[in-house]
Amino acid sequence: MNTSIDTKSSFLRPNLETKGRLMRGFGALALAFAGGVMLFKIVLLGLVLLVSAAFVLFEALRGWCVLRACGIKTKL
């Protein structure tokens, strides 16, 4: 039963290098800016963009990519 704990921890294991982390950081900034702008026009879209920015920022800070963790190859 202890293997399920090992599987979860390996899923969240960092899988990005510096370049990928920087790209996700810039992506998070762009999403946050767009979300801030859209909050004044279409509130729901602005909130979705801000939540997306928070998740991408988490990926950048953690050095982890959800797509790579699921086995999808990315270029960066």
How many Cα atoms are found within 13 Å in the side-chain-facing hemisphere of 25?
A: 11
The pLDDT of residue 1: 46
Per the CB < 8 A criterion, the answer to whether 25 and 53 are in contact is no
What pTM was estimated for this model as a whole?
0.82
Q: In terms of Cα–Cα distance, which of 29, 15, 26 is closest to 66?
A: 15
Q: How far apart are CA 65 and CA 25, in angstroms?
A: 12
Using CA atoms, how far apart are residues 76 and 64, in angstroms rounded to an integer? 12
Over the stretch 23-53, which tens digit does the pLDDT of each residue have? 999 999 999 999 999 999 999 999 999 999 9
